[in-house]
Structure 1
Amino acid sequence: MAKTIDLTTFTDKRGNLTVIEKVIPFDIKRVFYIYGVDDSQRGGHRHHITFQAAVCLQGSCKIFVDDNSTKETFTLAAPNMCLILEPKDWHTMFEFSKNAILMVLASEYYDSKDYIFTPYENN
């Protein structure tokens, strides 16, 4: 099941510096970010092999996760909070704030064959 981790942040009078180092449970092969989202939902899939780490760099959004036994909605509203998604985690992203920027780190390069768009039957 998906879980959140706190990212180390250093703060002083100059501002904040958040580090993603030795806390992501996979090697990063792909980085993408989502922004300018209207009232639409994003995602709506799970993967065969790809792990993901989602960080809302600015603003906020919600991520619904279903791993076929547990359903949970996570709110990402701080750039030091990271949501780790396992391949089995069917997920949708929604309620993006107007200024939201959601960055996603992925364990695999893009491959359309890795996506499973059918939700679990218990949905």
Structure 2
Amino acid sequence: MPYSVDDCKLLKLPKEAESNLTCLNDRSILPFGVKRIYYLYGIIEKQDRGAHAHKELFQLILAASGSFKIELDDGKSKKELFLNKPSQGLLIVPGIWRNLTDFSFGSVALVLASEYYTEDDYIRNYDEFLKYRQDNV
């Protein structure tokens, strides 16, 4: 059964009580093992990022600095979330179209991914995404 936007959840990440330190070394925090970490930065005003879906990949996206919005779409329902806390991350499950928008100046989007990069996992065309969702119900 395919995932929906309701399966994408904000996760409260552990924060040291007396400092601004968040550590993600416990598998109980993330529902997947991390195989790739990358970050987006230097995003110019009005530029969007993302605009794709993954067939198998799970991601945790967080605002390491600044803020931005993430628009989620499962082909039937849509959901928009605002990220602005480094101690909170958005879990995105496979089969969900995502678009990152409204980046504040100097923002950094940190992404933890369940798999290594493979182009075959990406769906970069929205019409192809809708067909993929329809074929995998």
The 5-angstrom pairing of residues 1-123 of structure 1 reads: 1=5, 2-12=8-18, 15-20=19-24, 21=26, 22-38=28-44, 39-119=46-126, 120-121=129-130
Q: Deviations over 1:74-113 (max 9, x none)?
A: 1000001100001111000011111101100001100111
4+ runs deviating over 3 angstroms = none
Query: TM-score, normalized by length of structure 2?
Result: 0.82
The offset of 1:118, in angstroms, is 2.2
**Structure 2 unpaired stretches of 5+:** 131-137
**Structure 1 unpaired stretches of 5+:** none
Aligned partner letter, 2:21? L
The offset of 1:36, in angstroms, is 0.6
User: RMSD between aligned alpha carbons?
Assistant: 1.2
Q: Which of the two has greater strand per residue? A: 1
- Report percent identity of matched pairs: 35
State how far apart, in whole Å, the 1-side matches of 2:53 and 2:99 are: 9
Query: TM-score, normalized by length of structure 1?
Result: 0.91
| Count of paired positions | 119
